[in-house]
Structure 1
Amino acid sequence: MKSDFLKYQAQTTPHPLNFEVDYAKGSYIYHKNGKKHLDFVAGVSACSLGHQHPRVKEAIRKQLDSYLHVMVYGEYAQEAPIALSKLLASLLPESLNSTYLVNSGTEAIDGAIKLARRVTGRSEIIAALDAYHGNSYGALSLMSKEERIAPFRPVIGGVSFIKFNCQKYLERITTSTAAVILETIQGGAGFIEPQHNFLKKVKERCQAVGALLILDEIQPGFGRTGKLFGFEHYQVVPDILVMGKGMGGGMPIGAFTASNEHMHLLSDNPKLGHITTFGGHPVIAAAALATLREITETSLIKDTLKKEQLFRKLLIHPLLIEIRGKGLMLAALTPSAAITTQVILRCQEEGLILFWLLFEERAIRITPPLTISEDEIREGCSILLKILNEIHESL
C-alpha cells in the first residue's frame, strides 16, 4: 500500500505519515499490521461520533435503499437535506433559518463570501491575520501567510486584514466593508479563543457600518466546544454561519446558514447565483442528520467540558507549557516545533494518534471524537506523558 499510495495518489507533504489503515471503530484506528491506535485527532475534528457510529451507519444504509444522487442541488425536494436544514433552523437563533448545503467547509466559505457581497453590494472582505478558512481560491484569499499564497497568486482581490483580539483594528471596518469573516476560535493559529468581548464588539462595529459578520465554525461547530456552536459562548450571533468537518459524522459536507431573506438573493439576478451538483447529497445529508440528532439528543455536548477538565488535570508536564482551547478542541504546546514533532511521531509508534496545527508549530492537536470515554482519555494521556518523560530525560 505504501508504495502505491506514494506513486499514484497526489500528496500534500513530502513526508506523509504513511499509516496503512485496515479498519476503524469507535475511538480506534487499526493498522494493517493489526495494531490498534487510539485516535486523539478524529480525522482533524471531522469524526464527531468516532468511527462507524451505529446511528450514522444505519442512516446511510436506509438512504442507500431509497436513492443516491438524483438532481443538482436546489431543484428536487429530498427528505434528508430538508430535515437536516429544518433541524438546524430549530437549533439556531431565529435569524439563521436558511441553510445552503455544500460539499466541504472551504466551499461553504466561498459561498459565504459571495452571499455577503450580494447582500451588501460591497466588495471588501476583512479577515484575521493568521486565519485559516480552507484552500479553495476564495478561502485561500483570506489567508495572511504570504509564503502559503505567493505560489498561487493572483488570488481574489478586495481582502484586507485585522488582528484577532485587537480592538484598535475595528476602525478598519467601514462602509466599504461587505463582511468581516472570523474563526470563532482561531484554529491553525493555535486554538486561540476570543478575549474581552472581541467578537461582540466586531459585530457591533459591523452593524454600525452596514457590514455582515461571518463566523467560521468549521472546527468548533457541532458540540466540540461544549455548545452546539462556539459562538454561543461569546454572546454574539453571526449574519452568516459557516460549518463543516464535524457535521457529517465522518462524511464530506459543509454548509453556510443565513436568513431566508438574504439567502434568497443567490437564487435570482442572476439565477443560479451559487450552484453545486453534489451539495446536499441525500446519503451525506442523512449521515449529517443522524450526527446532529445524536449530538443534541444525548449528553455529548455537556460531557465535552467534563472531558476537557480531565485532559487538563492529566496533562501536566514540564514540557507542556500551555493547553489552549475549549471542550475537545485542545492544543498542548511544547517549547519547540522539534519537540512537538518528536512527540507526535513517537506517540504514533506507541499507539496514540496526534497531529499538528497549521501555523503554530509548537502545538499538539488534541481533538478526539466527542464519544471518547474517560478511560480512553486516561489511556491516551498515559502514552503521551510516557513519551514526554522520555524526551525530557534525553534533553
Structure 2
Amino acid sequence: MRTQVGIVGAGPAGLLLSHLLHLRGIDSVILELRSRAYCESRVRAGVLEQGTVDILNAAGVGDRMRREGLPHLGIELRYGGAGHRIPFERLVPGRAITVYGQQEVVKDLIAARLEAGGAIHFEVPDVELHDLDTATPSITFQGQRLECDFIAGCDGFHGVSRPSIPEGVLTVYDRVYPFAWLGILARVKPSSEELIYAATDDGFALHSMRSPEVSRFYLQVPLDASLDDWPDERIWAELRNRLETVPGFTLASGPIMEKGITPMRSFVAEPMRYGRLFLAGDAAHIVPPTGAKGLNLAAADVRLLAEAIGHWYATGSADLLDGYSEACLKRVWRAQHFSWWMTTLLHTFESDDAYGRRLQRSYLDYVTSSEAAATTLAENYVGLPFEPFGTLDA
C-alpha cells in the first residue's frame, strides 16, 4: 500500500489532520486500533476554544456544531459561599467557547472523511513504524505494509508512535497530581447556563453540560479511588455538598449514563518530531482537564502540521516542517501553565497547610476582583489567537 501521509489514530487529531490534508489535495490513510463505534461514543472533552471552532468551520465540518453546540460567554468560579462570573464578552470581546462533545467532533470528522472517500481502517492491531529517519518511512499492520512520505502519530498518550522514537531523542517533562477526577454523564437538564468551577474544603467540583438535556459533572477524588466506592447516591450527595454553596442554587439530579475516574497529569515530550514522524495531540502532550485544553491543543497542532506538509508538497521546502515542533511547543507550554494554574487554584491539596490554603483563597479573591487577573483567565480559557505560521494568518 502507498499513501502520502500515514496517520496513526482516529481521534480528533488524526481525523482533523486527514481532512485538512484532503482540502490541500494530499492523500492520507488512517489506522485506528479501536472500533468506529468506540471512537464515536468515547466521552471526553467538551469545551472548544474559539480557535478550534474557527478551524472546524473553515474546514467545512462545523455545520452540526453550529446547530447543536452551546456557545458560552463566561464561566463561574464558586467558592466561599459566593459565585463570581468571569465575563468573556467584556474581557475578551468577540471570543467565546462552545460546549460540544469530543465524540460529536469525531462523528462529524469521520462522516466528512468517508463522504470524501477517505481511507480509515478501524480495529487495526499490531501497528509498527519503520525507517522513521529516512525519506521512505512505512507502517506495518496485519501483514501489510503502508509506505508513506510522512507519518503522523496521533494515537494518544498510550499509542505506539511516541515509543517508536529511539531512546535518548526525546526530553520528557512529567507531573502527576495527587488526586483524580470522577466524571459522570447524567441525563438531566443542566442546573446552570454556564460552567461552574467550585472550590471547597472538601475538594473541587465542576458542573458542565453536553446538551440542553445532558449534564457533565466532575468531582475531585483521591488518586486511588475506585468506582466501587462511589455509588450514584454518594456521587449526587457529594456534588450537592460542593455545588449547593450559594443562596438559591439547587442541583438537579437524574440517571447517570456513564462514569469513570481519570488521573490528573501534566506531560510534554519534545521535540514533537523525529525524522519523518510528527507527533500531534496527546501523543506528545497531555494536560489536566481543568483548563479544557487537550482537544484544543490537538487541533492547533494539526493545523500547523497540515500547513507544513502542504508547503513541502507545494514548494519542496522543509522550512515549515523544521519549524513545526517549536511552533507547537510554544502554545503547548502556555496551555500547560494555564492548566497547572487552574488546577492549583481550584483543587484541595492534602499537602497544603493553613498558610497554603489562605494563599489559595487570596489568589481566588484576586482573580475575581481584579479586571487584569480576570482577563488573563478569560483570554487563556477561550484560547489565545494563533500566531502566524507560514502562509497561515498572513
For Structure 1 versus Structure 2, the TM-score category normalised by the shorter chain is under 0.3
With structure 2 as the length reference, what TM-score do the two structures score? 0.23
Is the strand fraction higher in 1 or 2?
Answer: 2
